[in-house]
Structures are given as C-alpha cells and as structure tokens.
Amino acid sequence: MAYKIAVVGGKDIVTAFQLIGFDVYPSYTAEETRRTIDKLAKENYGIIYLTEELADLIPDTIRRYDGLPTPAITLIPTNRGTEGIGRNRINDNVEKAIGSNILQGGD
C-alpha cells in the first residue's frame, strides 16, 4: 500500500511543498487544522508535515496520533523560524524509546 504525503500550514509555507509534489492543505486555525489532520488520517496519508505554529494550537490531536502507526506527524518550522517544538518531540520520543536522551549534548 502506498501512502500519500501532505503538508498542513499557512499558504505561504505549503505552496513550496506543492511544487515538489506533496498534497498541501492551507490552514490557519486550531479547529480547521484539527479537522484537516483527522480527514487526512482517514485518507491513507502516511506522513503529515505540520507547521510548529499550528501544532502548538492542537497538542491533544498530535498526542492522539502519536500512539498510532500512521499517519506520522512531523513538525516543521515556518518562515519565522523554529519554536523548538519539533526538536523537543524528537527528544521526548528518543527518551521514551530507549530510556535516556542520547541526542542532547552535555553543557
């Protein structure tokens, strides 16, 4: 089964991804983003790239999909830079999987 890839975020962000062949879904509010993510999850999307800005609005929805094999929701920064949410999620998942966070460097 071939999974599809989608990008959800502001129109200024998702347009660039459309040029490389990803399905794009402009979204601006928490409710609109939540509905879009739920719809894509039912439509055979294996990966959903979501801007950190929107992910910050729907943490419960993100957590709900964290426990499922698909879709994998991957957070991406916006043109205003990263908020660190995506990196923090990766660190948390590594720590959960192996018992310690091997990705964080010492000070």
CATH number of the domain within which 67 lies = 3.40.50.10580
Task: Identify the pLDDT of residue 30.
Answer: 97
Task: Identify the pLDDT of residue 97.
Answer: 44
Q: Structure pTM?
A: 0.75
Is the residue at 85 inside a domain? no
Q: What is the pLDDT of residues 46-65, one digit of tens each?
A: 999 999 999 999 999 999 99
Mean pLDDT by 10 residues, the chain (107 residues): 90 90 96 97 93 93 90 82 53 49 50
The total of structural domains in the chain comes to 1
Q: Hey, what long-range contacts does 23-32 have (CB within 8 A, 24 or more apart)?
A: 27/54, 29/57, 30/54, 30/57, 30/58
**27: Cα separation from own chain's centroid:** 13
Task: Identify the pLDDT of residue 22.
Answer: 93
Domain range enclosing 64: 4-80
Task: Identify the pLDDT of residue 87.
Answer: 54
Is the residue at 101 inside a domain? no
